[in-house]
Structure 1
Amino acid sequence: MVETGHVTMIRQMTYRPAERLAATVETMTFDRLRELNDGGTQRADFHVLALVDAGHGLLTVDFCQHPLEERSAVWIPPGAVHQWDDMTEVAGHIVLFVPTAPVTRASRELVGYPEPAAHWSIPDADWPFVDAARNHLLLEESASSAGLATELPEILLSVLIARLRPPHSGARFSHPVFRLFRSSVEAHFREHHDAGYYARALGYAPRTLSRAVQQVTGRTAKGYIVDRIVLEAKRLLAHDRLTATRCANVLGFPDASNFSVFFRKATGMSPGAWQATLAVA
């Protein structure tokens, strides 16, 4: 995990394992994270998966705060703006990995999901299996770091992800219409803000598409698109310190006025006001 530069508040982290240049999985303890972390806000190009064994703390992911507590998991996807607010008393491990590291179809689908659960508690019945999978990964990753290069860390990462059973692994997220919709939104939300575009592109009636999205997320198709644009706008305002005009250009709005009206309607604040509150937080 290497800092490659920063813009005002946010440090951009890029995946570069310290031991093995070709490694796609890296592990560390919370003690090591405390040594590396300065308490600032970060944005990484890799996944961060953390297991909390003991202690309590706080983590902010994409401007929402989550508790760190005993026998819980944290998942921070690439691009998410995050900050370790308090991890002084937290014990456990962090797994860093690139999106292509998992080797099974199911684990790759979970890794590819654009809105993974940021935090969840691990049931007592699942903990022994999660703990065993984590310990096996730590053992094999340390062997690979010593020069015994194998695919075992990637395989065991997939096992760990499967054993963790993150909330977004539920069957409802496998809805075929929703999966096509979310993939299309991820690819095109900067250019297309209308749910009708996605219905036409995917060959579904607008009501069918919106019903599928609501079944999975509780939101309409339009609401899902709005939330995705707002999240990206917040990331741009926070990470890149872009003006409303630049955000409008990046996110496909005709001008800054249109973008500002959209942002205010969705958040209750103008882009500049929201950016200002973040700067003094």
Structure 2
Amino acid sequence: MTVIRQMTYHPVGRRAAAVETMTLDRLRELNDGGTQRADFHVLAVVDAGNGAVTVDFLRYPLRKRSVVWVVPGAVHRWDDIAALSGHLVLFVPTAPVTRATREFVASPGLAAHWTVPDADWPYVDAARNHLLLETSAPSGDTPTELPEILLSALVARLRPPDTEAQSTHPVFRLFRSSVEAHFREHHDAGYYARALGYAPRTLSRAVQQATGRTAKAFLVDRIVLEAKRLLAHDRLTAAACAHTLGFPDASNFSVFFRKATGMRPGAWQAAATVG
């Protein structure tokens, strides 16, 4: 298990920059095969080879022109990167400088994995290489805003997809942002309807149209994801998870988790952390 709290993927003796880059060769040297959870974005672009990464308990194949985007707080593990070549870009959430790219980065629905279309690759490659060149400049030689500007260009060229097909639905977007901010304290979909000023049926209809799930199911899924992160990476007990996620006690949390997943927290934790 690896806990990562600062850029880069290893302790550094200087104040971390807002944007840093590294090769997949360097990642192989640092990777211990365990889970990682960072408080910054991890963006990987693969040039060649085949491998795999697991992000929030879903395994994704990696190949030429694959992109991996790990948002802050997500649990991830580099399963098979021995044959991969490419680069990682590590950046803090406030690094992008344009409105559009900041909205991309702030979206809770960012896809964790996709493949760059052939027609887009020359532009993605050029934007990535320019960023690599600037971040490799000697300290003090690069104007401080250049890496952030070039990061924004790369994000714009990558055009990250959103996991929710109808994410432009304004009611759903408000709901999703509110859930992300308050799911640890409020487990009732009715709270979000009241806070956003919508009738419960109106809110649930909007979420259903955007995701195929009810507002309650969307909220449950988000709480369960965080519970899994805490159980698998932080190795918290059911009692500690209950406290962190706003449940009155371990028993209440265990009933919730078992109803949602079919397993008790301890059993799920043991299966997720085996080996």
* TM-score, length-scaled by structure 1: 0.91
SS in 1 for 2:137: helix
Q: How many Å separate the matches in 2 of 1:170 and 1:262?
A: 25
Does 1:232 pair with 2:194? no
Aligned to 2:145: 151
The 5-angstrom pairing of residues 83-94 of structure 1 reads: 83-94=77-88
Aligned to 1:51: 45
CA displacement at 1:143 relative to structure 2: 2.3
CA displacement at 1:253 relative to structure 2: 1.6
Q: Which of 4, 20, 31 in structure 2 is aligned with 1:12? A: 4
CA displacement at 1:54 relative to structure 2: 0.6
The 5-angstrom pairing of residues 54-203 of structure 1 reads: 54-143=48-137, 145=139, 147-168=141-162, 172-203=166-197
* TM-score, length-scaled by structure 2: 0.93
* Code of the aligned partner of 2:37: R
CA offset digits 1:129-176 (Å, max 9, x no partner): 111111111112222646323311101111111111111198832322
Aligned length: 273
Alignment root-mean-square deviation, CA: 1.9
SS in 1 for 2:253: helix
CA displacement at 1:57 relative to structure 2: 0.3
CA offset digits 1:75-100 (Å, max 9, x no partner): 00111111100000101110000000
CA displacement at 1:254 relative to structure 2: 2.0
* Code of the aligned partner of 1:220: T
* Code of the aligned partner of 1:138: L
Q: How many Å separate the matches in 1 of 2:148 and 2:225?
A: 30
Q: How many Å separate the matches in 2 of 1:221 and 1:170?
A: 14
Show structure 1 runs of 4+ deviating over 4 A: 16-20
Aligned to 1:5: none
CA displacement at 1:245 relative to structure 2: 1.6
* Code of the aligned partner of 2:79: D
CA displacement at 1:19 relative to structure 2: 8.7
- The gaps in structure 1 that reach 5 residues or longer are 1-8
Q: How many Å separate the matches in 2 of 1:128 and 1:221?
A: 40
- Asked if structure 2 preserves the Cα contact closer than 8 Å seen for 1:144 and 1:150, the reply is no
Aligned to 2:237: 243
- Asked if structure 2 preserves the Cα contact closer than 8 Å seen for 1:180 and 1:202, the reply is yes
CA displacement at 1:119 relative to structure 2: 0.5
CA displacement at 1:20 relative to structure 2: 6.7
CA offset digits 1:43-101 (Å, max 9, x no partner): 11110000011101010111111111111100001111111000001011100000000
Q: How many Å separate the matches in 1 of 2:138 and 2:211?
A: 40
Q: How many Å separate the matches in 2 of 1:227 and 1:258?
A: 17
- Asked if structure 2 preserves the Cα contact closer than 8 Å seen for 1:260 and 1:271, the reply is yes
SS in 2 for 1:11: coil
Q: How many Å separate the matches in 1 of 2:192 and 2:254?
A: 24
- The gaps in structure 2 that reach 5 residues or longer are none
